[in-house]
């Protein structure tokens, strides 16, 4: 210990402290701070570059997913549209059929009505004709001045036979 203290040089200690403190202050200002800042900035730069690359990748993936989704949607929509079109077609056909049916029915009905009315008219005319014939027959009968009943009946029958309904 005594030898250690004997070796201790106060002057060297003063110089050493002075040199190290000056060196510390100088280097801090001119070297360490610029170096550490530069390294930090560079690391930050690398980190943010990596981050943005990662972000871009994620965005790309999102975009791709979006594309797939859009494609799927489009496909679904197309299918929907086709189905709808098919439905509409069917409906139009059905509608047309119905329409035709009702139309036909109506026409039939009208025809029947017309037939009926024609028939009525014919019947009426027939009746008229019958009446007219009856009158004619009656006229002829009366004209012939009937001798007997037998002849009268024969005549009526013959006349009726002539009448063709």
Whole-number Å distance between alpha carbons of 47 and 154: 133
Residues in the chain: 165
Minimum CB distance to other proteins smaller for 27 or for 71: 27
Residue with the two structure tokens 């139309």: 103
Site residues (CB under 8 A) for other proteins?
4, 7-17, 19-24, 26-28, 30-36, 38-39, 41-42, 45
Q: Least separation, in Å, of the C-beta of 24 and other proteins?
A: 5
How far is CA 134 from each of CA 130, 131, 141, rounded to the nearest angstrom?
A: 6, 5, 10
Q: Least separation, in Å, of the C-beta of 40 and other proteins?
A: 9
Minimum CB distance to other proteins smaller for 48 or for 128: 48
Minimum CB distance to other proteins smaller for 44 or for 77: 44
Whole-number Å distance between alpha carbons of 14 and 94: 113
Q: Least separation, in Å, of the C-beta of 46 and other proteins?
A: 10
Per DSSP, the three-state class of 1 is: coil
Minimum CB distance to other proteins smaller for 19 or for 82: 19
Q: Least separation, in Å, of the C-beta of 38 and other proteins?
A: 4
Backbone angles phi, psi at 146, to 5 degrees: -55, 135
């Amino acid at each position: 210990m005594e030898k250690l203290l004997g070796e201790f040089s106060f002057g060297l200690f003063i110089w050493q402290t002075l040199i190290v403190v000056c060196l510390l202050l100088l280097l801090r200002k001119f070297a360490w701070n610029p170096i550490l800042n530069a390294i930090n900035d560079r690391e930050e730069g690398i980190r943010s570059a990596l981050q943005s690359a990662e972000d871009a990748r994620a965005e790309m993936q999102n975009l791709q997913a979006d594309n797939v989704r859009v494609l799927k949607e489009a496909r679904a929509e197309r299918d929907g549209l086709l189905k709808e079109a098919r439905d509409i077609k069917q409906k139009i056909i059905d509608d047309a059929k119905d329409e035709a049916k009702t139309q036909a029915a109506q026409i039939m009905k009208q025809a029947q009505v017309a037939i009926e009315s024609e028939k009525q008219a014919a019947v009426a005319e027939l009746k008229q004709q019958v009446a007219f014939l009856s009158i004619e027959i009656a006229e002829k009968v009366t004209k012939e001045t009937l001798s007997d009943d037998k002849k009268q009946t024969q005549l009526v029958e013959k006349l009726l036979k002539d009448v063709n309904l």
